[in-house]
């Protein structure tokens, strides 16, 4: 069974701080990785995708990928209370052309 593991949290950070979210995956064949944000009672919305080793930045968000360690992370700079949500990590399942999702990390940004 292919798996994506995340710490369930909650991860609590003060407003303005950097939030660091981490994820590991078991499928060495995965080529695509995604971070989704999910507010309570709502559907997931895509924040970032990353396909190559290294960093990818988009505004306050930076995704990091290390395929050798099978590790993906998301950094949120200048965290805002509106960033408080559950963040889902997903990895491509090449055998099925589907995504495998982690259980999510709940982030709380304290004003």
**Per-residue tokens: 102:** 């982690």
Beta carbon of residue 8, minimum distance to other proteins (angstroms, whole number): 7
Of 19, 23, 85, 88, the one binding other proteins (CB under 8 A) is: 88
Q: Does 97 bind other proteins (CB under 8 A)?
A: yes
Q: Does 102 bind other proteins (CB under 8 A)?
A: yes
**55: part of which helix (H) or strand (E)?**
strand 54-58
With CB under 8 A as the contact rule, which of the stretches 26-34, 56-64, 66-74, 76-84 interacts with other proteins? 26-34
Q: Which residues of 74-86 are buried (b: 16+ CB within 10 A; e: fewer)?
A: bbbeebeeebbbb
């Amino acid at each position: 069974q292919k798996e994506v593991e995340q710490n369930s949290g909650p991860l609590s950070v003060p407003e303005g701080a950097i939030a660091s979210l981490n994820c590991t995956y078991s499928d060495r064949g995965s080529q695509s990785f995604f971070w989704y944000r999910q507010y309570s009672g709502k559907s997931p919305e895509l924040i970032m995708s990353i396909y190559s080793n290294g960093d990818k930045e988009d505004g306050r968000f930076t995704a990091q990928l290390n395929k050798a360690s099978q590790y993906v992370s998301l950094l949120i700079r200048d965290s805002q209370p509106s960033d408080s949500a559950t963040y889902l990590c997903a990895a491509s399942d090449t055998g099925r052309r589907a995504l495998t999702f982690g259980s999510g990390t709940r982030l709380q940004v304290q004003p």
